[in-house]
Amino acid sequence: MPKLTIDGREIEVEAGTTILQAAEQLDPPIEIPRFCYHERLAVAGNCRMCLVEVEKMPKPVASCAMPVGEGMVVHTNNANVRKARQGVMEFLLINHPLDCPICDQGGECDLQDQAVAYGGDRGRYCEEKRAVEDKDYGPLIQTMMTRCIQCTRCIRFISEIAGTPVLGGLHRSEHLEVGRYVNAAVSSELSGNLIDLCPVGALTNKPAAFTYRAWELKRTESVDAMDALGAAIRIDSRGNEVVRVLPRVNDDINEEWLGDRSRFAVDGLRRQRLDRCYIRKDGRLVPASWPEAFAAIAAKAKGLPGSKIAAIAGDQADCESLLALKELMASLGSAHLDCRQDGARLDGSVRASYLFNSTVAGIETADALLIVGSNPRKEAPVLNARIRKRYLKGGFRIARIGHKSDLTYKYEALGDNPAVLAEIAAGRHPFFDVLKNASRPAIILGQGALARADGAAILAQAARLADAAGLIKDGWNGFNVLHTAAARVGGLDLGFLPGPGGLDTDGIAAAAGKGDVELVFLAGADEIEMAALGKAFVVYLGTHGDAGAHRADVVLPTAAYTEKSATFVNTEGRAQRTKLAVFPPGEAKEDWKVIRALSDALGKPLAFDTVGQLRGRHPLFSQLDQLRPAAWAACGTDGALLDKPLVSSVDNYYMTDPISRASKTMAECTASFGAGCGCNHKKTGTHG
């Protein structure tokens, strides 16, 4: 390993490390200024801001691109280096407008900060500045291309990480512009990350344009609940309003990326909100107080046997409310409860049967992958970026059973019939040998494969394949279920499932339609067929005036994931806790408190009064941010496979839940990018 000296401090680093990385490995690290260099992107070396002096080299060198050598003596802050940086900065500022006071990047701008730290105090440029035409990057990204310093981070991100190469550097020299390919939209589900990557104000947050200054915002570190990955996020709020959501670094899950829905659906938190109770009177929902609403529910529940009461939990229900509701249902004597509103044929008996066992980070170590009934690009774009990252390293065979679409990497399309899975599981398909011969084979089973009548049979086939092809071995479990709902794994872990003799979601709907179930609690469940509930008395606990609230007889307003400290278990089985960034609107309350108060009104007070007591009632809550190993066992139920194509459970990435359906930004995305595959790499006749 080469040993070098940086600013008089000796360090030994691995061969191939660059000078810039070596400087960061020092303790305390030396930070070398940079614009184009980003540790997760390819090295470009074109901004020249990271110049350092290396003894015996005639000119300053770009430290981001220069590998270390034995005995190098590097100076990162002598007079020559300072002069070089000042010169680079002067060149960068030649064509950069001085519009910081009206620029949304102001206050969190790399160029601004580094101009202060490393620039000169005046420019000598008296000629005309150039102006660049702004580009249309769609409803999420505001462009101001005159501000662009051509670091090419956006070009590299969209090509390498997002896998939708639509951006490029057009023309040359003085006329160089970053632009998009004609007629191609910046439609990647990860496009919001361009805003974070842009070191200047060329690409900014369009929905939030001109609404905030960076220094006014309160920052709350939290966890995303818009999909089942549980990405680390930072909620920036002002007053009682969420202004924007940014990703935080979490190398176990999202690295530092975030999907566009998680980032941009936040305007949905302000629209269509339920901020008070409602009771249906003469067919109309009329505002009511909490005691009135509780009284109406109590009047209905009075004398009703438990067998006529049911509960269905939605996709964003937190673990606290699921546990509280489960206990309430138990005290009411009902076994009819289900957290699988999509009807996924998963049960809670084998924990490994419903987890993403390889872990999100672990998928990068897989060497063969079979995707069944899932479109990871739509269901978990950040995970899809991981799969693409693994694909780019090479030696990774991917096959897919399901609807054909662009996943940003190449795969073998094995058709969309579940019978193919049975073929592979039985060892009669060539891809069986690919999995068998791989050292870390994996399968991703989507909800599209499980939420159907033959879901249990597909699960059984997948489990058989896992055993036969050696997907589970020492230190590796390649059996992965990809969830799309933040609430699902938590619900399965807590056993929010039909008890003995209890009905599942379909059963509850059927029974309600026949009048066998008279009282239905919907904990944020909006994606079920409301008409099927017949004449049942529906109590809806939720955040938005969505399908559930429209059907409800009593509406109880609760808090969204940004408005409470709540626990969610992600698709890998990792319990994580959100933090309260803003308060729930109006009279809305945290979900578990509503259920606790309701239990009093129903005369069955639950045995906890604080969230601490509630969390003490299940071990899940004490194991935050860690993965509990799940033992593997056969799962699913053998049965006939339907001759019905496997499709992804997510049709429109931009609208999957009450928050994103209420979001104007997401509606614009749906209009711009369409609900289909969203891919412009290979255009079809309907594009443009």
In the chain, count of helices (H) and strands (E)?
Answer: 21, 28
Instruction: Report, in Å, the least distance between residue 171 CB and other proteins.
Output: 5
Q: CA dist 240 to 17, 217, 236, 270, 547, Å?
A: 46, 11, 10, 10, 26
- How far apart (Å, rounded) are the C-alpha atoms in residues 594 and 601? 11
Instruction: Report which DSSP code applies to 464.
Output: H
Q: Which is nearer to other proteins, 170 or 633 (CB)?
A: 170
Q: Which is nearer to other proteins, 167 or 313 (CB)?
A: 167
- Is residue 659 within 8 Å of residue 560, measured between CB atoms? yes
Q: Which residues have a Cβ under 8 Å from the Cβ of 288 and sit 6 or more positions away? A: 276, 277, 278, 279, 296, 554
Instruction: Report, in Å, the least distance between residue 164 CB and other proteins.
Output: 9
Q: Which is nearer to other proteins, 169 or 603 (CB)?
A: 169
Is residue 245 close enough to count as binding other proteins by CB under 8 A? Answer: no
- How far apart (Å, rounded) are the C-alpha atoms in residues 645 and 39? 41
Interacting positions 344-373 with other proteins (CB under 8 A): none
3-state secondary structure of 493: helix
Six-digit token string for 362: 């672990």
Instruction: Report, in Å, the least distance between residue 182 CB and other proteins.
Output: 6
Please choose, out of 158-166, 358-366, 505-513, 527-535, the segment that lies near other proteins by the rule CB under 8 A: 158-166
Instruction: Report, in Å, the least distance between residue 195 CB and other proteins.
Output: 20
Q: Which residues have a Cβ under 8 Å from the Cβ of 439 and sit 6 or more positions away? A: 367
- How far apart (Å, rounded) are the C-alpha atoms in residues 571 and 465? 21
Half-sphere exposure of 133 (CA within 13 A, CB side): 6
Instruction: Report, in Å, the least distance between residue 169 CB and other proteins.
Output: 6
Instruction: Report, in Å, the least distance between residue 411 CB and other proteins.
Output: 16
Interacting positions 271-290 with other proteins (CB under 8 A): none
CB atoms within 10 A of CB 423: 20
> What is the per-residue binding string for other proteins in 624-663, x denoting contact by CB under 8 A?
----------------------------------------
- How far apart (Å, rounded) are the C-alpha atoms in residues 219 and 273? 23
Six-digit token string for 546: 């969505």
Q: Which is nearer to other proteins, 163 or 557 (CB)?
A: 163
Q: Which is nearer to other proteins, 66 or 166 (CB)?
A: 166
Instruction: Report, in Å, the least distance between residue 135 CB and other proteins.
Output: 12
Give the ranges where 439-559 is alpha helix by DSSP (H): 447-450, 455-468, 488-493, 505-514, 547-551
Instruction: Report, in Å, the least distance between residue 30 CB and other proteins.
Output: 35
Instruction: Report, in Å, the least distance between residue 190 CB and other proteins.
Output: 16
Q: Which is nearer to other proteins, 171 or 393 (CB)?
A: 171
Q: Which is nearer to other proteins, 186 or 385 (CB)?
A: 186
Residues that bind other proteins (rule: CB under 8 A) add up to a total of: 16
Is residue 415 close enough to count as binding other proteins by CB under 8 A? Answer: no
Q: CA dist 503 to 8, 54, 553, 585, Å?
A: 72, 73, 22, 34
- Is residue 554 within 8 Å of residue 541, measured between CB atoms? no
Instruction: Report, in Å, the least distance between residue 170 CB and other proteins.
Output: 4
Interacting positions 162-191 with other proteins (CB under 8 A): 165-172, 179-184
Six-digit token string for 397: 């065979």
Instruction: Report, in Å, the least distance between residue 177 CB and other proteins.
Output: 9
Instruction: Report, in Å, the least distance between residue 438 CB and other proteins.
Output: 23
Q: Which is nearer to other proteins, 184 or 304 (CB)?
A: 184
- How far apart (Å, rounded) are the C-alpha atoms in residues 545 and 536? 19
Kind of pairing between the strands at 336-338 and 368-372: unpaired
Instruction: Report which DSSP code applies to 440.
Output: S
Q: Which is nearer to other proteins, 168 or 333 (CB)?
A: 168
- How far apart (Å, rounded) are the C-alpha atoms in residues 381 and 366? 18
Q: Which is nearer to other proteins, 410 or 628 (CB)?
A: 410
Out of 46, 80, 159, 417, which residue is the one contacting other proteins (CB under 8 A)? Answer: 159
- How far apart (Å, rounded) are the C-alpha atoms in residues 426 and 444? 18
Q: Which is nearer to other proteins, 172 or 428 (CB)?
A: 172
ω into residue 28 within 30 of 0, thus cis?
Answer: yes
**Residues written for the chain:** 688
Find the helix packing angle between 430-437 and 455-468, rounded to 10°: 50
Residue 385, φ and ψ in degrees, nearest 5: -65, -35
Q: CA dist 8 to 14, 30, 73, 169, 506, Å?
A: 19, 12, 8, 39, 71
3-state secondary structure of 446: strand
Is residue 681 close enough to count as binding other proteins by CB under 8 A? Answer: yes
> What is the per-residue binding string for other proteins in 114-153, x denoting contact by CB under 8 A?
----------------------------------------
Q: Which is nearer to other proteins, 128 or 133 (CB)?
A: 133
Q: Which is nearer to other proteins, 395 or 475 (CB)?
A: 395
Q: Which residues have a Cβ under 8 Å from the Cβ of 593 and sit 6 or more positions away? A: none
Q: Which is nearer to other proteins, 173 or 622 (CB)?
A: 173
Instruction: Report, in Å, the least distance between residue 105 CB and other proteins.
Output: 25
Q: Which is nearer to other proteins, 158 or 443 (CB)?
A: 158
Six-digit token string for 658: 């009450």
Instruction: Report, in Å, the least distance between residue 180 CB and other proteins.
Output: 7
Residue 529, φ and ψ in degrees, nearest 5: -75, 105
- Which among 517, 458, 496, 462 is positioned nearest to 643, based on CA atoms? 458
- Which among 146, 243, 159 is positioned nearest to 193, based on CA atoms? 159
Instruction: Report, in Å, the least distance between residue 266 CB and other proteins.
Output: 31
Binding site for other proteins (CB under 8 A): 159, 165-172, 179-184, 681
